[in-house]
Amino acid sequence: MATMTKRGFLLSRGWIQAVILIFLFGFFVLGFLAYRTYTGEPPIPEKVTDPNGNVLFTRADIMAGQETFLRNGLMEYGSIFGHGAYLGPDFTVDYLHRAALLSIDFYNSLGSDRARATTVADYKTNRYDGASNTLTFTDAQAHSFQELQKYYYGFFSEPTTKYGLRPAAITDAAEIHNLTAFFAWSAWCASALRPGLNYSYTNNWPPEPLVDNHPTADTIVWSVLSLITLLGGIGLLQAAFGRWNFLGWHGREREKISFRPPGAVLLTPAQRACAWFFLVMTLMFFCQTLLGGATEHYRAELSNFFGLDLGQVIPFNIARTWHVQLSLFFVSTGFLAAGIFLLPMIAGREPRRQHWLAYALLGALAVVVFGSLIGEFISIHGGWRYVWQWFGSQGFEYLDLGRFWQILLTIGLFFWVVIIFRGLRVKLRTEHLGNLPWLFFFSALSIPIFYGVGLLARPESHFTSTDFWRFWVVHLWVEDFLELFTTIMVAYVFVLLGVVREKVALTMVYLDMLLYSAGGVIGSMHHVYFSGEPAVHMALGAFFSAAEVIPLTILTLEAWSFLQLGAQQGAKSQTPFPHFWAVMFLAAVGFWNFLGAGIFGFLINLPIVSYYEIGTALTANHAHASMMGVYGMLSIGLGLFCQRYLIPENRWSDRWAKISFWSLNLGLAWMVFATLFPLGVLQLYHSVSSGYFDARTLQFITGGANPVLEWLRLPGDALFIVGGVLPILYLCWLSVRYMAPGAKPGEETEEILFSEVVERAGSD
């Protein structure tokens, strides 16, 4: 039996050592921050009493109120500690502001001439007794709590859709009591000073002059240091890139590339199965965009969707829940399909019956998608009261799906890794652990692992620790490990096309891992500045999130060089380059990565800006430009690359790809620059000048010039959906309807490559 020769590592071992050290350092720090989360989170008292010892509410009431908040999808309507949706109020500042006003009125009614000063003292003084686990409210605070129960009962039991919620969303008096207790606890965390410190559990957030909440020294100092980090880091890296040729974009200039016509590339059964994945992906994308238009329309007209009262059936929180969930689902589906499609090209073979595993994965994905969406609808409409967190909606933004569906999705992602390993198994035996095939496998494995961390976020857990684990999914899973898998896939595509040498692509991947991980792992803490975490989370989160922008700047420039090299090689090829529009989508990814994740992300990640901005339209601006601009464009680009082989040559048309490219990019730019960014700037200005409470009210959001800006988004949305999504949907339908022929069962694919590279005379 012949033995397989294992290929050595293509680069210096220093790259592997550097990546391991960066990862170990990052996750060691995250482990320390997890420890500080649990030791420094705000206490939840066993009972809250008035000065006479009468119990106002208990720990059980607070936790039941948190579950009521989540079960009714209120985090996809408003927010707590600034995190959630942007139509409804932030209920932390809403309670705090209203309670402070009621306290001032209470003292005025007693004839006090120091009502404001006494109110500040009431809310700043920490009356929590750790020995008895009891929190004591003053008479004014107790009065405010009783009055606000009445206010929130009127708000949530409103029989119409005037607030964007379903009619009579919550009418049970006990649930309103518990919900108010949860809001009251979060407002206490936001105002009461940490023991021994001069700021609150939330670092004095929200900005509320009625209780003397103002930016802390940490907020200002770490904002300044973040700017210094950004400027200094970019300067150092620019100097390093100018001094040394890290990536070496040379070597193919003296070689001749001949791209094989797509029709000459035989497809394996599993690759043909990917056509269905991309069709499902685009259908989800289409539905997601329609829901996005609906959620935006709520900000222009709360109870009138072109003559329909949409809130009767699909209130804002359901529309936004589905919109957010489908964005994750359609991007994930594109990644799963692209991974399966590339396997035979990487390994040169496909195991028998691999396509049946692919179809099984698609079926399981459909069960999770439709099951979770239906469950969320039933749950938010008041059904499944006793199993809501399992089969309905857990209520966490980005982790809305019930735990049953979340577990199934995690299992499905591990099943996908099994498919990946099955396809690469023979190839992996011949490769060093640091080469591209193993990196492809390891990055695929990281996707289910870090999505599974989201299971640590539980509706019955402390909200601060829950938010900590939730952002492992929102940031580490999406912005780091999907980014890593993306880089490796794109690099592999260019290697398979013969555009760059494997060594150059491998260097790009390792550089990406080093630069992104240096800031991205610890930088995930920029999400939790004001969630009840100790100030160390702000210090490290601000510093390292600024460092995240540095690789975006450098790698965007290098990615452009990467794409230019591909264009040059395509121009010199004796055969047409078949992937122009797929590569254009990859170029768009680089642009939106720099603008959406880099510029817009850094803007809101500065602690002093985030202090006034969190939960406003600037957050939505960053989310749309980075999520759609990076992962959405990437999914479509990868889909086009695969469809170029799935659709027969006589059915393919570059025209539809061209229309989609320009419509999606212009439509997204229209959303950002005509509506989201100016709205965000106006809301930020109003937050600083008139108060964060007022900037988050429906009166401000739906008043003044804001509705005009919301209506200005309509042409961009229409262009995005009609000109951008529908042509891609048509191409996906073509790939299913007229699927290109495949290899015969059991046929090896060693010779079925994308291109041929021929050494020219005199090349070395």
Which pLDDT value is given to residue 251? Answer: 46
Look-up: residue for tokens 């898998």? 485
Tell whether the model's pLDDT for residue 430 goes beyond 50: yes
Task: Note the Cα 483 to chain centre separation in Å.
Answer: 11
How many angstroms separate the CA atoms of 649 and 752, rounded?
Answer: 17
Better-scored residue on pLDDT, 573 or 420: 420
Q: How many CB atoms lie within 10 A of CB 228?
A: 11
Q: Which residues pair with 308 in a beta bridge?
A: 305
pTM: predicted TM-score of the whole model, two decimal places: 0.92
pLDDT of 249 strictly over 50: no
> Rounded distance, CA 401 to CA 376, Å?
7
pLDDT, residue 560, reads 56
- State residue 477's pLDDT score: 84
Q: What are phi and psi of 80, to 5 degrees?
A: -130, 135
**Which strand (E) or helix (H) includes residue 80?**
strand 79-80
- Residue 230 pLDDT more than 80? no
pLDDT in tens, 432-462: 999 999 999 999 999 999 999 999 999 999 9
Residue 134 has pLDDT above 70, yes or no: yes
Residue position matching structure tokens 């590279």? 757
**Count of beta carbons in the 10 Å neighbourhood of residue 763:** 12
Dihedrals φ, ψ of 77, to 5°? -120, -55
- Give 177-213 pLDDT, tens digit per residue: 999 999 999 999 999 999 999 999 999 999 999 999 9
Query: pLDDT digits over 495-514, tens only?
Result: 877 767 788 788 878 887 88
Rounded Cα distance, 470 and 475, in Å: 9
pLDDT reported for residue 256: 54
Find tokens 């490219």 and name the residue. 661
Cα distance from N-terminal residue to C-terminal residue, the chain: 35
Q: What is the pLDDT of residue 758?
A: 46
421's tokens:
């390993």
Mean pLDDT across 688-710:
93
Q: Which residue has the higher pLDDT, 480 or 150?
A: 150
Largest CA-CA distance found in the chain, in angstroms, rounded:
98
> What does residue 281 show for φ and ψ, rounded to 5 degrees?
-55, -45
Tell me which range, 2-16, 448-462, 748-762, is most confidently predicted by mean pLDDT.
448-462
Higher pLDDT, 462 or 248: 462
251 with 159: CB under 8 angstroms? Answer: no
